[in-house]
Chains A and B, each alone.
Chain A
Amino acid sequence: MTLTVVIPFDLHPDVPLGGAGSQDMRLASVRVPKSPVVVAFVDNRKPKAGTLLRAVGDVLVEKGIIESYFVYEKRAMVPLTDVECDEIGGRANVVISGVGDCGGCTACSVTDALRMLDRGFPAFIVATRAFETLVDATERQYGLLGMNRLYVDHPVWSRDPGWFEHAASRLEPVITGVVTGGMTIAPTNEAGEPAARSVFDALEGLRAILDTDGYGLAVEMAGDGLALAISADPDTCADCLAPAGVIAGIAHDMLGKAGFDIPTSAITVNLPSLDQKLTSAAEMDLPSP
């Protein structure tokens, strides 16, 4: 005998239960940090979290990447309040939240990073690898793309001082990539693996293609879409650059394979300000795929 049942849950294999699908997620509109860069480390009070965050801050200051940093000590396992977000945003232009090394604290620290990202600040979550899936799930549930990930080995609280210095030196390039690279992200973490799964990482392949021909790529979130700014050295091959529409299509495909459903129409490609290239791009612009 057949049985007809009510199943009001999303069973699409790519959509986690209770979470947003990538098509439902907003892209953050993030301001590129301008000098002087001041980083707010949001310390969730987990044991040794402050130690790790301060170590990272010290490296960034020593290398001249940032002007200064401060550590904001918050209540663990309770998200930042609006007042706290305002206070942090009034003093810093980059926010790094952590350390997520348990379920509740990871969820809250991710939420803190996302709330600051939602206010236009480049934001990072620092978490242990044991909680990568929880970071992803919390991001989906918040529904906002653009948060950067900084992962370290689990756990943090039992480590000796040397470990923190080592971890900080591994995380520093990722942060530096954002602070100095026009929202680009260095693609390695402590283990030399992809560190930050984000729209920026998804476009690393495009960056490599452009780099082969002497072009640079900077990615920014702009409103509901992405802005790709392509730069060129004076002696770069003028005929090697594909039209803007083609580049947007390639970006769309790469983002799609990484799970980001961003329509081609929401991807703006700004070509280098060389007359022949602008002309070439305009003449050859192809319809969006």
Chain B
Amino acid sequence: MSDFGALKDNLSTFPDYFSAQDFFFQNGLTDGLPIVPPVLELVGPMLAMTKREPGDVLGIVENRTSGITVEQAAVCAVMAGALPSYFPVVLAIWEAIFDPGFNAGAVLGSSGGAAVTAVVSGQYARQIGMNSEKNLFGPGNRANATIGRAIRLGLLNALGYRVGELDGAAFGNQARYTSAFAERTPPPGWMSLNARLGYGADATTVTVAPTDAPRQMTHILSGDAENVLKMLTASMQDGSHCAAGRGTTFFILLGPEHTAILHEAGWTIDAIRDRLSESSRVLPEFLEAAGAPLREDRLPVEHGDRMELRADGTLPTADAGDIFVVTAGGTGAGWSQVLFGYAPRAVFRAVTREVVLP
């Protein structure tokens, strides 16, 4: 980055801190929480974390004229409370969002109210202090909280995803404030997500998908791997969600206890994915019991995706390739979490980008 000259074209001066906060609120520039005023002294170091110029456009939403510049992304990161060291992760998430496969133009403004969830895998996540363990979605970790918030503020302020403009969310959810976490180091023999996706040992990646808020899966009844897998299957088979019968992307966060049970029983992550893909298939009777019976006009196409009955009469909930299993979370009674892609798999796909360090 050569200089901060362009920033000086966008400077505004306020009499004090409180009037600056009022300005951001009054102009709809916040997510409802106070922001860190993006003073030049904070924006400059953020921009120093990339070799890209402030005016560079990180991406344009397909079929739209609007995108976000490096400068705008940096200002939103400052407003979110992020440290400069987080900015390379923020930039990688933006690049994933602008991948056509993410289908930003459709998913970001959907009435389904998707959160933009980012799984960060690799050593840089640890280096900047991202939380992969206790309370990773909860309050208390600056990196997790502010990386996701930086994205949401960018969606609001640069891309126009706000109510009354492009955001059609009927309810929204808390994960729309921020939804980013790090992968916990997997046990010996299990590959981390970035390695499974083909990246080198030194690489750090973000895998980004539009999701619902996380759902907790409780299994404290036995140390049996088969029971853990059955309960994960039950979590995925939610007849009230569009995944059942059509398929979607899943982020499955295996807590330490469940990780240990499955690992010690000899399961690999690939085998877990295959198993869950198979066991989560549903019968038409399942959908009927959930109040979503198959009808002639919903088969074979529903919401643009094929509802293909296999020879055994079942329908998919997730292809194995759409199930992202990661180790995460802290020790407890026996918890894991499941994040559903917010829409059927025909609408979007999870996108991975490598974090580029300056």
Contacts and interface: CB of A to CB of B under 8 A. Distances in A.
Interface of A: 1-9, 11, 16-20, 24, 44-45, 73-79, 102-108, 111, 114-115, 131, 133-134, 137-138, 141-143
B158 A18 contact: yes
B97 interface: no
B157 interface: yes
A142 B64 contact: yes
A9 B24 CA distance: 11
Nearest to A26: B65
A66 to B, nearest CB: 25
A18 B112 contact: no
Contacts of A138: 109, 166
A79 B159 contact: no
12 contacts: A5-B14, A5-B20, A7-B29, A17-B157, A18-B165, A24-B65, A103-B169, A103-B170, A107-B105, A108-B105, A111-B63, A138-B166
B16 interface: yes
Contact of A45 (B10, B15, B164, B303): B303
A95 to B, nearest CB: 15
B38 A45 contact: no
B69 interface: yes
B111 to A, nearest CB: 4
A3 B16 contact: yes
Contact of A79 (B39, B62, B170): B62
A11 B66 contact: no
Contacts of A18: 66, 157-161, 165-166
Contacts of B13: 2-5
Give the top 5 A-B pairs by smallest Cβ distance, nearest first: A103-B168, A18-B160, A75-B304, A104-B110, A76-B304
Interface of B: 7, 10-17, 19-20, 27-29, 37-40, 43, 61-66, 69, 71-72, 75, 103, 105-107, 109-112, 156-162, 164-170, 301-305, 343, 346-347
A131 B105 CA distance: 15
B110 A102 contact: yes
Contact of B301 (A1, A16, A45): A45
A9 B157 contact: yes
Contact of B158 (A9, A20, A73, A77): A9
A161 to B, nearest CB: 14
A6 B165 contact: no
B304 A74 contact: yes
A78 B168 contact: no
A108 B301 CA distance: 18
Contacts of B43: 6
Contacts of A106: 168
Contact of B105 (A4, A24, A111): A111
Contact of B347 (A7, A78, A141): A78
A75 to B, nearest CB: 3
B304 A6 contact: no
Point out which of A1, A5, A17, A108 has the most chain B C-beta atoms below 10 A from its C-beta.
A5
A232 to B, nearest CB: 40
Given A6-B7, A108-B106, A76 B17 contact: no
Nearest to A115: B63
Given A75-B304, A108-B105, A141-B65, A8 B347 contact: no
A24 B64 CA distance: 13
Given A77-B347, A79-B62, A5 B165 contact: no
Contacts of B160: 16-19, 137, 141
B147 to A, nearest CB: 20
A45 B299 CA distance: 12
B20 A3 contact: yes
A239 B357 CA distance: 74
A24 B340 CA distance: 39
B66 A103 contact: no
Nearest to A1: B16
A17 B27 CA distance: 10
Contacts of B162: 17
Contacts of B106: 77-79, 104-105, 107-108
**Residue picked from A6, A20, A131, A134, most chain B C-beta under 10 Å:** A6
B65 A142 contact: yes
A139 to B, nearest CB: 10
Nearest to A102: B111
Contacts of B156: 17
A95 B302 CA distance: 23
Contact of A104 (B20, B62, B65, B343): B343
B72 A9 contact: yes
A3 B11 CA distance: 10
A4 B303 contact: no
A62 B148 CA distance: 54
A115 B111 CA distance: 23
A21 B59 CA distance: 20
Contacts of A16: 160, 165
A39 to B, nearest CB: 22
Contact of B165 (A1, A75, A105, A133): A133
Contacts of B110: 77, 102-104, 107
